[in-house]
Amino acid sequence: MRGSINIATIAGIAIDINFSWFIIFVLLAVTLANGQFPAALPDKSYAFYLLLGALTAMLLFASVLLHELAHALVARMRGIEVHTIELYIFGGVSNLEREPPTPAATFLISIVGPLTSLVVGGICIVLVGPAMAFSIPLGIIIEYLGITNIVLGVFNLLPGLPLDGGQVLRAIIWAATHNQQRATRVTAAVGQILAFFFIIIGILEVFNGLIFDGIWIGLIGWFFLQAAQNSNARLALQTVFRGVKVSRVMSPAPPTIEANRTIEQLVTGVILQQSQRTVLVTRMHSLAGQVTLNHLRRVPREQWGQTMVGEVMTGIEQLHVLNPDQYLLDVLPFLAEHEGDHLPVLAADGQLVGVLDREAIVRYLQLHQMLGSGGESTPPSQGSGTRERQDVSAPGATSPPSSPVG
Using CB under 5 A, which of the segments 21-29, 47-55, 106-114, 353-361 binds Zn ion?
Answer: 106-114
Q: Does 391 bind Zn ion (CB under 5 A)?
A: yes
Nearer to Zn ion, 157 or 173 (CB): 157
**How far is it, in rounded angstroms, from Cα 309 to Cα 317?**
16
Can you tell me the distance from the alpha carbon of 328 to that of 365, in angstroms, rounded to the nearest whole number? 12
CA–CA separation, 202 and 101 (whole Å): 37
Q: With H, G, I as helix, E, B as strand and everything else as coil, classify residue 146.
A: helix
Q: Which stretch binds Zn ion (CB under 5 A): 124-132, 160-168, 307-315, 352-360?
A: 160-168
CA nearest 290: which of 268, 306, 264, 271? 271
Would you say 65 or 131 has its CB closer to Zn ion?
Answer: 65
DSSP per residue, 175-237: HHHS-HHHHHHHHHHHHHHHHHHHHHHHHHHHHTT-HHHHHHHHHHHHHHHHHHHHHHHHHHH
**Cβ closer to Zn ion: 223 or 241?**
223
What number of H helices and E strands is found in the chain?
A: 15, 12
Within 262-375, residue ranges assigned H as helices are: 263-266, 272-274, 293-297, 309-312, 328-337, 358-370
Instruction: Tell me the C-alpha distance between 290 and 274, whole Å.
Output: 16
Q: Which is nearer to Zn ion, 113 or 221 (CB)?
A: 113
Q: How far is the CB of 156 from Zn ion (least distance, A)?
A: 5
State the Cα angle at 202 between 198 and 206, rounded to 5°. Answer: 175
Closest approach, Cβ 70 to Zn ion, in A, equals 8
CA separation (Å) from 364 to 352, 372, 404?
Answer: 21, 12, 64
Range in contact with Zn ion (rule: CB under 5 A) among 23-31, 276-284, 373-381, 387-395: 387-395
If binding is defined by CB under 5 A, does position 86 make contact with Zn ion? no
Nearest-CB residue to Zn ion? Answer: 113
Least distance from C-beta 152 to Zn ion, angstroms?
Answer: 9
Residue 124 Cβ, how far from Zn ion at the closest point, in Å? 18
Residues 108-137 that bind Zn ion (CB under 5 A): 113
Compute CA 379 distance to the chain's CA centroid, rounded to the nearest angstrom: 28
Distance in Å, CB of 150 to Zn ion, minimum? 14
Q: Of residues 86, 143, 164, 330, which one binds Zn ion by CB under 5 A? A: 164
The strand pairing partners of 13, in sequence order, are: 10
For Zn ion, how many residues bind (rule: CB under 5 A)?
3
**What residues between 287 and 346 interact with Zn ion by CB under 5 A?**
none
162 lines the binding site for Zn ion (CB under 5 A) = no
CA distance 361 to 15: 32
Read off the DSSP letter of residue 248. Answer: H
- The CA angle 211-189-223, to the nearest 5 degrees, is 35
CB 88, CB 391: distance < 8 Å: no
Nearer to Zn ion, 71 or 245 (CB): 71
Q: How far is the CB of 396 from Zn ion (least distance, A)?
A: 19
Question: Least distance to Zn ion from the beta carbon of 92, Å?
Answer: 7
Least distance between Zn ion and beta carbon 190 (Å): 17
- The full length of the chain comes to 406
Question: What is each CA distance from 229 to 195, 225, 234, in whole angstroms?
Answer: 10, 6, 9
Catalytic positions, written as ranges:
68
Dist. CA 59–CA 53, nearest whole Å = 10
Residues that bind Zn ion (CB under 5 A): 113, 164, 391
